[in-house]
């Protein structure tokens, strides 16, 4: 685990998508630093489980905030639930994984993806960015996806929405720097979470072994502590990004995703 400075980033952190995967691991590692955690997601039982785990293992307080970040107006619920908290850290981890052929998507799904994977990050940044700037210290970490701006076959719309996250973070990194607020875009590659199953991928048979969520988060918190604008977790992911042309990566994704359930059973 990577511990971070509670004076700069505490005493409270707000983490979206905290019920599982990378978000859950962010909650654990932040709590291990002695920072209280406000956990946001749709699934209330899982949030309580994560919160109790953080309180029991690390002795911090936790707060559960049930909210669907794909629904318009979600930020009002989070703002009200955190109004009296001194929030020094925000992990904006909203996102979707809806693989499939682009032409099989309907308009409602396209709109939902944009709200969740792009607009939700902007709403979190606008609300909490003001609070962090006013207090003169703190941090914002946005979780995107490596290479999203290069195009992702069978994830065309999701990837395009994820590309927004990196652009937003790069700009806010500069805007917030004079006010003592750190901003980092964490751009993971394949990570060993339940999402892989939706792509028809088995971590044991993938050409490159996916990273563990704990390692992604550890590197992400280290990058935020150093106020790095972006981070691609994993040395191999960084090497692949540097030397493999985007066109080759797209071809590899086409072959990897060929067995996705969504391609074998497209929506009617």
How far apart are alpha carbons 211 and 94 in whole angstroms? 19
DSSP 123-172: HHHHHHHHHHHHHT-EEEEEE--TTGGG--TT-HHHHHHHHHHHHHHHHH
> Could you give the C-alpha distances from 184 to 153, 228, 233, 260, in angstroms and in order?
26, 6, 12, 32
Q: What is the DSSP letter of 211?
A: B
Write down the pLDDT at residue 73: 94
Write down the pLDDT at residue 112: 95
> Could you give the C-alpha distances from 129 to 59, 87, 125, 196, 251, in angstroms and in order?
27, 10, 5, 32, 39
Domains for the chain: give ranges and CATH numbers. 6-264 (3.40.50.720)
| Contact by Cβ (8 Å): 199, 153 | no
How far apart are alpha carbons 139 and 26 in whole angstroms? 14
What crossing angle do the helices spanning 156-176 and 107-114 adopt, rounded to 10°? 20
Which pTM was predicted? 0.91
- Token representation of residue 237: 């992911």
Closest listed residue to residue 142, CA positions, set 133, 129, 151, 155: 129
Write down the pLDDT at residue 245: 82
Write down the pLDDT at residue 43: 94
How far apart are alpha carbons 209 and 7 in whole angstroms? 36
Write down the pLDDT at residue 263: 66
Write down the pLDDT at residue 143: 97
Write down the pLDDT at residue 122: 98
Which alpha helices (H) appear in the chain, and where do they start and end? 6-9, 21-32, 44-58, 74-81, 107-114, 120-135, 156-176, 195-198, 213-225, 235-243, 246-256, 261-264
Write down the pLDDT at residue 213: 94
State CA 143 to chain mean position distance. 3
Predicted confidence pLDDT, tens digits, the chain (268 residues): 778 999 999 999 999 999 999 999 999 999 999 999 999 999 999 999 999 999 999 999 999 999 999 999 999 999 999 999 999 999 999 887 788 899 999 999 999 999 999 999 999 999 999 999 999 999 999 999 998 888 888 889 999 999 999 999 999 999 999 999 999 999 998 888 877 666 666 777 676 788 999 999 999 999 999 999 999 999 988 888 788 887 888 887 787 777 676 666 655 5
How far apart are alpha carbons 39 and 49 in whole angstroms? 11
221: exposed, middle or buried (C-beta count within 10 Å: 0-12, 13-18, 19+)?
buried
> Could you give the C-alpha distances from 133 to 14, 143, 176, 203, in angstroms and in order?
16, 21, 7, 41
Write down the pLDDT at residue 22: 96
- Token representation of residue 193: 């979470």
């Amino acid at each position: 685990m990577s511990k971070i400075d509670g004076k700069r980033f505490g005493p409270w952190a707000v983490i979206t998508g905290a019920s599982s995967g990378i978000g859950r691991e962010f909650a654990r590692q932040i709590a291990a630093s002695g920072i209280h955690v406000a956990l946001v997601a749709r699934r209330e039982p899982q949030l309580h489980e994560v919160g109790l785990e953080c309180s029991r293992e690390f002795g911090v307080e936790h707060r559960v905030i049930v909210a669907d970040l794909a629904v318009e107006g979600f930020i009002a619920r989070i703002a009200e639930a955190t109004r009296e908290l001194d929030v020094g850290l925000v992990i904006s981890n909203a996102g979707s994984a809806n693989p499939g052929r682009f032409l099989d998507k309907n308009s409602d799904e396209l709109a939902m993806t944009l709200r969740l994977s792009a607009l939700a990050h902007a709403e979190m940044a606008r609300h909490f960015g003001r609070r962090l700037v006013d207090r003169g210290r703190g941090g914002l970490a946005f979780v995107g996806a490596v290479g999203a701006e290069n195009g992702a076959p069978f994830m065309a719309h999701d990837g395009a929405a994820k590309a927004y996250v990196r652009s937003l973070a790069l700009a806010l990194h500069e805007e917030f720097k004079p006010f003592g607020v750190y901003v980092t875009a964490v751009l993971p590659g394949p990570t060993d979470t339940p999402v892989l199953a939706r792509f028809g991928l088995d971590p044991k048979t993938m050409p490159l072994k996916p990273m563990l969520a704990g390692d992604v988060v550890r590197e992400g918190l280290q990058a935020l502590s150093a106020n790095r604008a972006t981070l691609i977790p994993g040395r191999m992911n960084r090497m692949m990004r540097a030397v493999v042309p985007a066109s080759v990566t797209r071809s590899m994704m086409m072959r990897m995703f060929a067995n996705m359930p969504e391609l074998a059973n497209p929506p009617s």
